[in-house]
A and B are shown apart, each in its own frame.
Chain A
Amino acid sequence: MEVALKILRFNPERERRPWWGEYKVEADPGDRVLDLLHTVKWHQDGTLTLRRSCAHGICGSDAMLINGLNRLACKVLVRDLGPQIVVEPMRGFRVLKDLVVDMEPFFAKYRAVRPYLINDEPEPRKERRQSPKQRERFEDTTKCILCAACTTACPSFWAAPDFIGPAAIVQAHRFIFDSRDRGAAERLAVLNQSEGVWSCRTIVNCTIACPRDIAVTQAINEVKRAIVTSEEFIPKWRGFDMQRAIGTAFLTLSLGMLALAGFMTFQIANHILQGGNPFDQIGLLILAPSLFPPAILAGLMGLYEFIKAER
């Protein structure tokens, strides 16, 4: 079949603006987009510039915007795209030439989360042991190949290039949830900034873009949770105890609801004593009893928080 291939070309050294290069390429439905780009470069226009290394979905060099979606050119087949294919460089990075973008800011953010094992405990005699369950905890995020498809699919990243991006968070996740690692606090401190995980708006473009099928947004939300639930990041002011504060809040809520329910009961009783029909006050009759269970529940939760704090 003949494929009409449109490629967004740009040579910033010679040209002022990007332009569309249009190519007609003979292709097999089983060919990959990378094969088409090779055909163009090798047989039609040698000035076309692109990155690719392994060409088999492992190195992550050839992520690009194909038909409006970030994918690896070496993993997407012509038959899944049809006879018209549009290829653009990834968005949010400076274009160096054609499909090659400046990845340095991306790797700077990758380095910022310290993507290596941090553990200053004395070395064990043989190895740091880990149960299959502990390994499973971060299995998903070990699959990342740093292709930047997720980061450049993210509207938050396009709008704010300082956003650390999904890829760096995925890399942080891989170590934060590793039972052998002790650097979680450092990494969470980096990610607990407005340019860290909090720029994520849960748009889920990253998960869709990932060529390795990593649940990227889920990983980001797990890191968000780790930040708000970790000891270091729960505010500890002078004499302030989070657990007792939560307990007190629950007990106050419980007492308030009990008081309200008690007042309503009193109103109904008063009405009956004065010879009225209790069903005149149907609203109170429904509200008062239905307030008691949540009041008791909140009271028990408050007490539970206090008991937990005492231990």
Chain B
Amino acid sequence: MARGTRAISPPGRIARIYRGGEGELAWALHRLSGLGVLFFLFLHILDTSLVLLGKEAYETFIGLYRTPVLRVLEVVLAMAVLYHGGNGVRLTIYDFWPKLLRFDRFVFYLGIFLYPAIVIPMAYMMLRPVFFPNLPPLGGG
């Protein structure tokens, strides 16, 4: 029998991702952002509980949050919270208004459009004092 073929090594796992729609991406990011926020929550419990060891220990650790690297990570945290919350609101709206799922892709891309509109000004406001400390603070106050 003509096989006309050769057996190759077992298929890799990563190359076989299911090609779902936008919803699958939204779900994966939802999980990722949720885990990220959860990780920060553990860290936050840790840093707050350091107050039990005295003022010095607490303030040393809190001081880390004021370093530029962690200020940038703070923006990432805010982005994760915003995404997780926004996507959650989207899914909750579907639960109460199932017909909207007919326009699922439109709603997703509406979110994609709205997200940077919120995130970019937010990042600017949060990072301005880090990178441009000589500028007067926002709001004139």
Contact B5 A23 (CB under 8 A): yes
Contact B4 A23 (CB under 8 A): yes
Interface residue count for A (Cβ, 8 Å)? Answer: 36
A212 in the interface (beta carbon within 8 A)? no
A residues contacting B by CB (< 8 A) are 8-9, 17-24, 44-46, 65, 67-69, 88, 91, 153, 155, 201-205, 207-208, 215, 217-219, 221-222, 224-225
Interface Cβ pair total, 8 Å cutoff = 97
B116 in the interface (beta carbon within 8 A)? no
Contact A20 B2 (CB under 8 A): no
B residues contacting A by CB (< 8 A) are 1-11, 16-24, 26-27, 91, 94-96, 98-99, 101-102, 104
Contact B20 A153 (CB under 8 A): yes
Partner of B94, one of A9, A24, A202: A202
Contact A222 B98 (CB under 8 A): yes
Contact B18 A19 (CB under 8 A): no
Contact A18 B10 (CB under 8 A): yes
**Which among B7, B8, B9, B18 has the highest number of chain A CB atoms within 10 Å?**
B18
CB distance from B105 to the nearest CB of A (A): 9
Partner of B24, one of A23, A91, A203: A203
Apart from A207-B101, A217-B104: 17 A-B pairs, beta carbons within 8 A: A18-B10, A23-B4, A44-B5, A45-B1, A45-B3, A65-B18, A67-B19, A68-B19, A69-B19, A155-B24, A155-B27, A202-B23, A204-B23, A204-B24, A205-B18, A218-B102, A225-B96
**Chain A residues whose CB sits within 8 angstroms of the CB of B24 once the complex forms:** 155, 203-205
Partner of B5, one of A21, A208, A225: A21
Bound form: Cα–Cα A218–B10 in Å: 38
Contact A217 B27 (CB under 8 A): no
Contact B18 A69 (CB under 8 A): yes
**Chain A residues whose CB sits within 8 angstroms of the CB of B19 once the complex forms:** 67-69
What residue of chain A has the Cβ atom nearest to residue B96's Cβ? A225
**Chain A residues whose CB sits within 8 angstroms of the CB of B96 once the complex forms:** 225
What residue of chain A has the Cβ atom nearest to residue B23's Cβ? A204
Partner of B21, one of A20, A22, A205: A205
Knowing A19-B8, A202-B91, A204-B21, say if A225 contacts B98 (CB, 8 Å): yes
What residue of chain B has the Cβ atom nearest to residue A222's Cβ? B98
- List 30 A-B residue pairs with CB atoms under 8 Å apart, sorted by A's residue number: A9-B7, A18-B10, A19-B9, A19-B11, A20-B7, A20-B11, A22-B8, A46-B1, A69-B20, A153-B20, A155-B20, A155-B27, A202-B23, A202-B27, A202-B91, A202-B94, A203-B23, A203-B26, A203-B27, A205-B20, A205-B21, A205-B24, A208-B21, A215-B101, A217-B98, A217-B101, A218-B98, A218-B101, A221-B95, A224-B95
